[in-house]
Structure 1
Amino acid sequence: MIRSAPPACIRFSPLSSEMATGSLLAALLGRARHGNPMAPCFGTVPFARFESPRPFFSGPSRAEAVAIEEEPAARPEDLRSRLFRLRFPKRSATVVLDKWVGEGRKVTASELRQIAKDLKRSQRYKHALEILTWMGSWDNFHPSSADHAARLELITKVHSIVEAELYFEKLSDSTSRRVASFPLLHHYVKERNLEKAEALMSMLLNLGLVVDPHPFNEMMKLYMATGQCKKVLAVIQHMKRCKIPCNVLSYNLWLNASGELSGVAVVEMVHAEMMNDQNVEVGWSTYSTLANIYTKSGLLDKASAALRTAEDKLSVRKRLGYSFIMTNYAALGDRDGILRLWESSKRVPGRITCVNYMSVLLCLIKVGDIQEAEKVFKTWEMECRKYDIRVSNVLLGAYMRNGWMDKAELLHHHTLEEGGCPNYKTWEILMEGWVKCNQMDKAVEAMKKGFSMLKACDWKPPSDILVVIAKYFEEQGNIQETERYVKVLRRLRLMSLPLYKSYLRACINAKRAAPNILEKMARDGISLDVETGELIQHVSKFDDINAYNDFYLW
């Protein structure tokens, strides 16, 4: 709906500058989750309650501390406060905006843009999108190209890529299409949709809309992520032919591709070309990239030298690069380098985030210094504002991998006392640890806790752990528990051929039929092998009416 004329109280400011469409921190987190090869370019669980001294934190628990906090002072009434108070996505920012102007209050486009930007930063995507949509509903408001790009990106998060594509197709202005194409391309790259990314890039090139290195960098990131390093070199050559300058990210991607294809000598030639490029400032990220390549090639002295240079180029105002270089030192097994960077990062202004703590914990654990990691963890507990279970999960995982389940259990209870809320990863770690220690009752309870969270996430437990638990039920001769287990796994789409084999063996041991087994396996996309066929033939001899009734309603 286009509104013909806004009330006099609505005053739109001059168009804002283009928004920055990429978030380097988001790239960092993405890399951590997906193992990006381009780094650094871009029921109650019946656990026993231990009556023991608090091993990690000596003060009152966070749950106790909450009771003595004073109520915050009332905030002044403004549009930003009203919009941020919405909190739940079902509530409408459009209603708030209409009510605001209906009260005769003023609002400017620049204010709305900033609020939308802050909401997006807080992952309140629906309300941010509603603000930009509301702004665009006034016929005398002319959205900037940055507004279109921001709106398209939010559509991909709130609705779907299909709706984002439709929005993009409706843009008629070439500048708006050029700017809005970047978040669309970025989404394709993130999803590793090679076909759509290449088609969009081809269209942009044919229309002459690619005038800077950013879209090329996105394509190179995609090619690196899909193991097509030769195409990275082809992109670089295309940029040179079209006189599109390389930026730091372009060179870093080029270095990585050269390292994969040609070795250190060619990498150093690319680095020399970068050093001679007067338009590029070679910073810590490039030397961190070089160090990674040298480490993979076994040139540890060169890697250490590159990291020392990278340290010298770190900002004293931003903490971003410190975590990357600590990771490089961890790959070298250099504990002193990790601690030196960690101490240096503390001198950078600003709050040390949970992600920073997770990074140093992971690095210390990688070099085997659990004791130092525990000290860092205690520091985090004393300084954190909110107990983030992801931080304690790092230490919990280290205990589990070392077989220290007593310490893991103590830490788990401690985090609960401190107000920590276990997530699916917590239960996965505990489940795996109990399986390794052959404490299967506890493993099963941890698994149930993890399954209870599957509605809110895309977690898939390790398939080998699921098989071990299935074999446990099989060996126990508990056919009822096995049937319940299989029913849950089928509902969650977690069944596999080994799990079906275990189920069939359990049926044979219990002399139970497995009604409609072939149909169930077909629905689950499971193909038969010779062994499974023999098991099905064996189990078909049983004609257990009760079992048939139990399973008929699956």
Structure 2
Amino acid sequence: LLETATRRGMNLTVSDQAIHLDLISKTKGIVAAEKYFMDLPEPSKNHLSYGALLNCYCKEKMTENAEALLEKMKELNFASSPMEYNSLMTLYSETGKPEKIPAVIQDMKANEVMPDVFSYNVWMRSLAAVGDIPGVERVLDEMKRDGRVGADWTTYSNLASIYVDAGMNDKAEKALKELENRMDLHCLPAFQYLITLYGRTGNLVEVYRVWRSLKLAFPKTVNLSYLNMIQVLVKLGDISGAENCFKEWEAGCSTYDIRLPNVLIGAYAKANRLRKAEAMRERARKRGAAPNTKTWEIFADYYLRTKQIDEVVKCIENAISASRKSVKVKWLPTKETVEAVMTYFEEQKDVDGAENFFEILKKVECVDSAVYESLIRTYFVAGKNSPAMRRRLKMENIEVAPEAEKLLDTVCSQ
């Protein structure tokens, strides 16, 4: 729409241009976004367009570009809000550099940009990441002293999570009580965080108490809330409770979401209750929820664990088929699964099985040198020849390790 408006000569506001830049980055890539920014008229290169480009760099994990651009923004007096600094701190957090975050906070303060709630939360998580729990508590104290910024429920959910990770469940539960005191009773995410975090402390009584409160606040309880609750109950080992919750959801749901049956399927498979897992899969299918890639992953993991490799291969085929029906990212089996299956065929000297699996992987472009090397070894140990193997490698532009290369002379012989 924005491109159509531009072609028709409509004047976009600077705010529109900033949005356009972000969308270009998402759809055409960062290089196209940079070109769009460079081609903007000088009056349009203000804090909004600079901020949009900075956000793009941060999303693309382009640390050096983001740092350089923020410095440029500071020179131009375009970094006057916490938002720009928050973007960079989020980047550091996501790229495993939490130790850099306190310096950003100090830089903010030096430039008279006061942290907001998000800034404080990221700062606390950065200190927790390096094991500085007293530092986390000092930040909370500073936040309380800051007359402009009040700690809200997100601060205490953040704090509770930090305490749980540190094994300090008593402090975590005190933080959760503060969360409840500060949350809006019509804030669904707050309820969901409470359930998840009480689950992580192992407090099943509190999980059920908050769940009852959630249902009172939201009589039309959405699928996501049931999904969260069932996941927590399964993690706590309360399978019967999870089953009761599932039945309650199933009786009143308007949309049958396969993610909920998947949680119980996963629990049953983990407990080696295959028949119950299969029954749940068919139950969902009858209600119009076809198995998705996650469903087949669960069964593949079960069969891999129980050494039923032929069934693993079937599950992988089914997962690939389910993936093709989805608009989301193409599904691929993990390298560990591929290696385990190929190793099995190698050990069994099963060339036909290995070739069949190879063709399945090839359909989704999941064939690399490791797969070829295993295939070559399978032919070798089985005492079978494949005169076309070198040609196959050349066509796929695959180079194999010297050990596999040595085996090719035997495998490719007539």
- TM-score, normalised to structure 1, is 0.68
Match of 1:512 among 385, 395, 398: 385
Residue 260 (structure 2) aligns with: 391
Q: How does 1:466-505 map to 2 (within 5 A)?
A: 466-490=338-362, 492-495=364-367, 499-505=371-377
**Shift in Å, 1:516:** 4.6
Equivalent residues of 1:514, 1:540 under 8 A apart: no
Residue 540 (structure 1) aligns with: 409
Residue 118 (structure 2) aligns with: 249
Q: Are residues 345 and 190 of structure 1, via their aligned partners in 2, closer, same or farther at CA, if it must alter by over 3 Å?
A: farther
**Shift in Å, 1:278:** 0.9
SS state of the match for residue 450, structure 1? helix
Q: Are residues 490 and 388 of structure 1, via their aligned partners in 2, closer, same or farther at CA, if it must alter by over 3 Å?
A: same
**Shift in Å, 1:171:** 2.8
Residue 206 (structure 1) aligns with: 75
Q: Are residues 314 and 175 of structure 1, via their aligned partners in 2, closer, same or farther at CA, if it must alter by over 3 Å?
A: farther
Q: Are residues 380 and 163 of structure 1, via their aligned partners in 2, closer, same or farther at CA, if it must alter by over 3 Å?
A: farther
Q: Are residues 410 and 526 of structure 1, via their aligned partners in 2, closer, same or farther at CA, if it must alter by over 3 Å?
A: farther
Of residues 268-277 and 399-408 in structure 1, the stretch that sits farther from structure 2 once superposed is: 399-408
* 2:272 is equivalent to residue 400 of structure 1: no
Q: How does 1:269-280 map to 2 (within 5 A)?
A: 269-280=138-149
* 2:213 is equivalent to residue 341 of structure 1: no
* 2:215 is equivalent to residue 215 of structure 1: no
2:386 aligned partner, one-letter code = A
- TM-score, normalised to structure 2, is 0.89
Equivalent residues of 1:247, 1:280 under 8 A apart: yes
Q: Are residues 180 and 419 of structure 1, via their aligned partners in 2, closer, same or farther at CA, if it must alter by over 3 Å?
A: farther
Q: How far apart, in 1, do the equivalents of 2:70 and 2:12 lie?
A: 24
Residue 459 (structure 1) aligns with: 331
Q: 1:353-382: CA deviations, max 9, x gaps?
A: 333222222221211112211222222223
Equivalent residues of 1:513, 1:541 under 8 A apart: no
Q: How far apart, in 2, do the equivalents of 1:343 and 1:521 lie?
A: 63
Specify every segment of 5 or more residues in structure 1 that has no aligned partner in the other structure, as ranges: 1-129, 546-554
Q: How far apart, in 1, do the equivalents of 2:104 and 2:400 lie?
A: 41
Residue 178 (structure 1) aligns with: 47
**Shift in Å, 1:394:** 2.2
**Shift in Å, 1:212:** 0.7
Equivalent residues of 1:511, 1:539 under 8 A apart: no
Q: Are residues 417 and 493 of structure 1, via their aligned partners in 2, closer, same or farther at CA, if it must alter by over 3 Å?
A: same
Q: 1:57-103: CA deviations, max 9, x gaps?
A: xxxxxxxxxxxxxxxxxxxxxxxxxxxxxxxxxxxxxxxxxxxxxxx
1:133 aligned partner, one-letter code = E
1:391 aligned partner, one-letter code = L
Of residues 370-379 and 302-311 in structure 1, the stretch that sits farther from structure 2 once superposed is: 370-379
**Shift in Å, 1:303:** 1.3
Q: 1:180-239: CA deviations, max 9, x gaps?
A: 344443343333232332233233223221111011111111111112122101110110
Q: 1:2-26: CA deviations, max 9, x gaps?
A: xxxxxxxxxxxxxxxxxxxxxxxxx
Residue 358 (structure 1) aligns with: 227
Q: How far apart, in 1, do the equivalents of 2:194 and 2:60 lie?
A: 27
Specify every segment of 5 or more residues in structure 2 that has no aligned partner in the other structure, as ranges: none
**Shift in Å, 1:454:** 5.0
**Shift in Å, 1:317:** 1.9
Q: How far apart, in 2, do the equivalents of 1:517 and 1:337 lie?
A: 63
Of residues 408-417 and 153-162 in structure 1, the stretch that sits farther from structure 2 once superposed is: 153-162
Q: How far apart, in 1, do the equivalents of 2:30 and 2:407 lie?
A: 49
2:130 aligned partner, one-letter code = L
1:406 aligned partner, one-letter code = R
Q: How far apart, in 2, do the equivalents of 1:382 and 1:409 lie?
A: 20
* 2:16 is equivalent to residue 159 of structure 1: no
Q: 1:325-380: CA deviations, max 9, x gaps?
A: 22222221122222222222223348533332222222212111122112222222
**Shift in Å, 1:480:** 2.9
SS state of the match for residue 541, structure 1? helix
Of residues 155-164 and 494-503 in structure 1, the stretch that sits farther from structure 2 once superposed is: 494-503
Q: Are residues 366 and 273 of structure 1, via their aligned partners in 2, closer, same or farther at CA, if it must alter by over 3 Å?
A: same
**Shift in Å, 1:277:** 0.7
Q: How far apart, in 1, do the equivalents of 2:288 and 2:226 lie?
A: 18
SS state of the match for residue 511, structure 1? coil
Q: How far apart, in 1, do the equivalents of 2:316 and 2:368 lie?
A: 17
Residue 109 (structure 1) aligns with: none
Q: How far apart, in 2, do the equivalents of 1:317 and 1:524 lie?
A: 58
Q: How far apart, in 1, do the equivalents of 2:321 and 2:49 lie?
A: 39
Q: How far apart, in 1, do the equivalents of 2:363 and 2:298 lie?
A: 23
Equivalent residues of 1:479, 1:510 under 8 A apart: no
* 2:85 is equivalent to residue 224 of structure 1: no
Q: Are residues 404 and 462 of structure 1, via their aligned partners in 2, closer, same or farther at CA, if it must alter by over 3 Å?
A: farther
Equivalent residues of 2:21, 2:49 under 8 A apart: yes
Q: How does 1:265-414 map to 2 (within 5 A)?
A: 265-349=134-218, 351-414=220-283
Q: How far apart, in 2, do the equivalents of 1:318 and 1:302 lie?
A: 23
**Shift in Å, 1:240:** 0.3
Equivalent residues of 1:512, 1:544 under 8 A apart: yes
Q: How far apart, in 2, do the equivalents of 1:301 and 1:336 lie?
A: 15
Equivalent residues of 1:291, 1:306 under 8 A apart: yes
Q: Are residues 143 and 473 of structure 1, via their aligned partners in 2, closer, same or farther at CA, if it must alter by over 3 Å?
A: same
Residue 133 (structure 1) aligns with: 3
State the superposition RMSD in angstroms.
2.8
Residue 33 (structure 1) aligns with: none
Q: How far apart, in 2, do the equivalents of 1:377 and 1:185 lie?
A: 44
Q: How far apart, in 2, do the equivalents of 1:325 and 1:174 lie?
A: 47
Residue 85 (structure 1) aligns with: none
Q: How does 1:47-58 map to 2 (within 5 A)?
A: none
Q: Are residues 416 and 183 of structure 1, via their aligned partners in 2, closer, same or farther at CA, if it must alter by over 3 Å?
A: farther
1:345 aligned partner, one-letter code = L
Residue 288 (structure 2) aligns with: 419
Q: How does 1:87-106 map to 2 (within 5 A)?
A: none
**Shift in Å, 1:163:** 2.6
* 2:306 is equivalent to residue 437 of structure 1: yes
